Structure 1
Amino acid sequence: MTDMTNGQVSFWFADMGGLPKPRPALPGDIAVDVCIIGAGFTGLWAAYYLKRADPALSIAVVEKHFAGFGASGRNGGWCSGEFGWSREKYLQTGSRAGVIAFERHLRGTVAEISRICAAEGIEADLLQTDCLTYARSPAQMQRLRESLAEERDWGIGPERVELLEGAAAAARITVPGALGALVTHGVARVQPAKLVRGLAAVVERLGVPIYEDTEVIGIAPHRVTTARGTIAADRILRATEGFTPSLPGHARDWIPLNSALVVTEPVPAALWDEIGWQGAELLGDASHAYCYAQRTREGRIAMGGRGVPYRFGSGLDETGKTQAATIAALKAILYRMLPQTRGLRLDHAWCGVLGVPRDWCATVGLDPQTGIGWAGGYVGLGVSTSNLAGQTLADLVLGHDTERSALPWVNRLPRKWEPEPLRWLGIHGMYQLYAMADRHEAHSMRAQTSGYARFANWLTGR
């Protein structure tokens, strides 16, 4: 533990040889057709699809740090194409057919990202596989059954989602006490920093400059003010996800929830024989304070979960450094899910933020009057969702009337979060209730979600 790296953005950059040298900053005042704020997945996908559709467009991407500094270079590498939000909430702004189309487009992002990586020469350790969500209590197993029933009600068949019982689930990955696992087919594992850096290089080759070390200090109709100069633009796309509250005027639009990961040393072959996990599946569980994990290219285990869930005033971390208590909690989750790993060294720990709207549903849109567009609020599902967001933003900017531009997340504007200290109290209260619910369910034989969790969901509108 003493030699473990903490922070330095993420292990994924260490895996690439260290943090990248920043690109040049904005040289001064410029004018372009489209200015994109944020060089993460959302902004880069938008630039990619815009430039592919109309090579004559002048586009500039501005980034406070470097491409991939935020969640795009820190996440768990789940490219899932998953619809992880409330269908009922999207029915408020769309039809059942629209929600079904939304899900279909999301599922298609896995193949689309794989296609572009192959076509553009992006080496991102992408491997198409399954996602296994394990249940280790009767209440968790009941939630998996309810999830499967909902999928069937929405026309999602076994070619996408199926449920494994007991021994069949344990045969995939040896998770002790597993009662079953929900299997989602058609997902992929990626090395996220390789994907975002590779995408940035492709966008540059297409003729889009990325100005790094360029902090945005103001956004107005058709004008972006930075610490390095002013950008006049017909269209402005805000692609700042969990960093959005740091922009003037956006403090309560979304909140930055923290997530953290640890990664082990490479796992010996004999230990993999004990664990199983031979398909490099994405691994999660059905607890309320859920975990997410992947088996990396070189045979490490990256395990993620919630750390300190929210910093007062929508505060952000410093280059990914996380708390000792969070590292200990993640280590405990790793040992709980995979006790075979108790002798392994942890090599790296880090954290980052994800954007959460007040209704916990992702959104994308463009205001034609101001020329300002946005996308985000992915609630931890950004690797694949950002690709669809980029495609949709391109449609909206170009004025293309497509099925994507009419999906029910387009131009959805949830209400703002409460002022402090109410949102700090609400979010921390939610996670305390979830922890109590998990403890209660672990010692109960009832196949029913704890009332603590139901109250937490009500309290925060999940």
Structure 2
Amino acid sequence: MRQTPTVSPETIGSYWLASCDDDLTPRPALAGDEIVDVAIMGGGFSGLWTAYFLQRHNPDLSIAIVERQYCGFGASGRNGGWCSPRFPINPSALTRRFGIETARSMLLAQQAMVDEVGQICTEEGIDAHFNPAGVLTLARSTDQLPSLRNSFDAYAKLGMTDGCELLDASQAQEAVNATEVHGAFRLRAGATIHPGRLVRGLARALERRGIRIYEGTEVLRAIDGAEPALVTSGGTIRARRAVLLAGEAFMTSQAEYRRRLIPMASTIMLTAPLTAEQWKQVGWSGGECLSSYVHTTNYLSRTADGRILFGSRGAPYRYGSDMCETALRENANFGWIRDRLLEWWPSLENVPFTHRWAGYLGIPRDWLPTVHFDPERRVGHSYGYTGHGVITSAICARALAGLVAGHAPGAHAPYLRQQAPNWEVEPLRWAGIRYVQNAFLRMDLAEAAGQQPPLDSGLAKYLGEP
């Protein structure tokens, strides 16, 4: 039965969806069987970008997208607003695992796609507040300074220092007037974006090209072979050429992908617009994608209307990769977020928070995305962006569209593979992930208190970092 999406502009709910210049009126659900050239599961960035690049390859293709809720319901409408040039695997690990040539090619592709997304927004008339301000990562303790240097050295090894720089303590403090700023690493590529406007605008752009989008329609199973199809709650869509699965964390609802990904939660809070005087105290006039070197992750962005978004760790992993929305909200670490923001800028103590939300992202066992199309089975997929989906999903979607079109891939891309490795079975998966989550938190708290790292820090890093 079709579910009507409800989005409230009140405290609980994504600011991006509440301000996306779209009333989120649900599109019609699928009502009966259909035949198209390509059928796609997923109305987020993965599915929409795949349809976009498929249509650019061949404008005559008939394409249908099936979405269980509404376009942008998942991570595409709940993320931190980063249009990041970072790949899910950091440059050092990427180089170690795949070599200098592949790592450099991958990172250059990420940077180029940032610019391309901005160009597409202009071409399609999507006012997504694209701001090419770059990425700034702060060292907020002396213990984080080696990570700052390692970031620069990793790019230097790839011959990419022209796109980045190290800032000393005074330069970093001038860029962002936060507490405990000891230095920073700047990537010139990168942008902030309004992801709600992007995902909803992209959906409208596809519809103008004749691509059908069905919302409120759940995919029950995919059929491969000579007559591939998506069997849904509203009917069966048969595909002459391909069935493509692009549901990111929600791919775990399909039996074949249940252990290929785990859904991990992330939590976000948003302030009211700051005054000019408050922004003067905060600094951060460049409006970069902002973060620091912590294990529990933080990511900040400045919205077009002058708010601060602060994102960090979410609800603990749930047994069996359960993705309960109610539990996600009830167990989200909103208090933790509030404390962290005030730790950065104590002067904002009286600034109210207007929005708070949480969401799931998909993480593969080896942190590496996966793109594959089997021309015999006529089934393909793209997934596993580990929180870097705004740009990585577009890169992977273009690769998947090319494979469906029969174009031989260019230089080897590490994400071109049949499947990600499986996660461990339960309860080992639950125990291992909960341990790493707890250990990373203890490591960050010890560092913030000026204490020695926990004795098991090495084990936690080994288990929890790519």
TM-score (norm 1): 0.93
CA distance in 1, matches of 2:53, 2:21: 29
Q: Do structure 1's residue 316 and structure 2's residue 323 form an aligned pair?
A: yes
The aligned residue for residue 445 of structure 2 is 439
What SS does the corresponding residue of 1:199 show, helix, strand or coil? Answer: helix
Percent identical pairs in the alignment equals 38
Counterpart in 2 of 1:365? Answer: 372
1:48 Cα offset (Å): 0.7
Q: CA deviation at 1:92?
A: 9.0
Counterpart contact for 1:79–1:189, Cα < 8 Å: yes
- Contact 1:37-1:63 at 8 Å conserved across structures: yes
Report the secondary structure of 1:127's partner residue: coil
**1:192 corresponds to:** 195
Q: Which residue of 2 is the match for residue 227 of structure 1?
A: 233
Query: Contact 1:138 / 1:445 at 8 angstroms: preserved in 2?
Result: no
Aligned match of 1:131:
135
Counterpart of 1:203 in structure 2 is 206
1:57 offset after TM fit, Å?
0.9
Letter in 2 for 1:176: T
Query: What per-residue deviation string (whole Å, max 9, x for no partner) do you get for residues 203-250 of structure 1?
Result: 111110001111001012012110111111121111111111112332
Question: 1-side partners of 2:86 and 2:176: how far apart?
Answer: 21
Asked if 1:45 corresponds to 2:49, the answer is: yes
CA displacement at 1:399 relative to structure 2: 0.8
| Aligned counterparts of 1:325 and 1:205: Cα–Cα separation in 2 | 38
Q: Name the residue aligned to 1:15.
A: 19
Give 3-state SS (helix, strand or coil) of 1:249's partner.
helix
Q: Which runs of 5+ in 2 are unaligned?
A: 1-7
Per-residue CA deviations over 1:70-107 (Å, capped at 9, x if unaligned) read: 00011001001212305677679855423322221111
- Report matched runs for 1:128-207 at 5 Å: 128-157=132-161, 159-207=162-210
Which whole-Å CA distance do the structure 2 matches of 1:129 and 1:86 have between them? 20
Letter of the aligned partner of 1:216 in structure 2? V
Give 5+ residue unaligned stretches, structure 1: none
Q: Offset of 1:461 from its aligned partner? A: 5.9
Which aligned runs of 4 or more in structure 1 are off by greater than 4 angstroms? 86-95
1:309 shift after superposition = 3.3
Q: Give 1:24's match in structure 2, choosing from 24, 28, 40.
A: 28
**2:308 and 2:118 mapped to 1: Cα distance?**
22
Cα 1:343–1:187, aligned 2, differ >3 Å: closer, same or farther?
same
Report the more deviating stretch, 174-183 or 13-22: 13-22
Does structure 2 retain, via aligned residues, the 8 Å contact 1:144–1:182?
yes
Q: 1:170 to 1:196 in 2, by over 3 A?
A: same
Alpha-carbon separation, structure 1, partners of 2:98 and 2:372: 14
Moved more, 253-262 or 274-283: 274-283
Counterpart contact for 1:128–1:186, Cα < 8 Å: yes
Once the two structures are TM-superposed, the CA of residue 320 in structure 1 deviates from its matched residue by 9.4
SS of the aligned residue for 2:399 comes to helix
Counterpart amino acid of 2:178? V
Distance 1:302 1:384, change over 3 A: same
Question: Does 2:300 match 1:293?
Answer: yes
Distance 1:132 1:59, change over 3 A: same
| 2:408 is the alignment partner of 1:401 | yes
* Match in the other structure for 2:433: 427
Question: Is 1:100 paired with 2:104?
Answer: yes
- Three-state SS of the structure 2 residue aligned to 1:110 is helix
Q: Give SS of 2:371's match.
A: strand
SS of the residue aligned with 2:325? coil
Q: What is the alpha-carbon distance in structure 2 between the residues aligned to residue 333 and residue 260 of structure 1?
A: 12
Deviation at 1:400, TM superposition (A): 0.9
Aligned residue pairs, count: 455
Report if the CA contact (8 A) 2:114-2:191 is conserved. yes
After superposition, the Cα gap between the structure-2 partners of 1:325 and 1:394, relative to the gap in structure 1 and judged at 3 Å, is: closer
1:415 is aligned to 2:421:
yes
Structure 2 residue 281 is the aligned partner of structure 1 residue 277: no
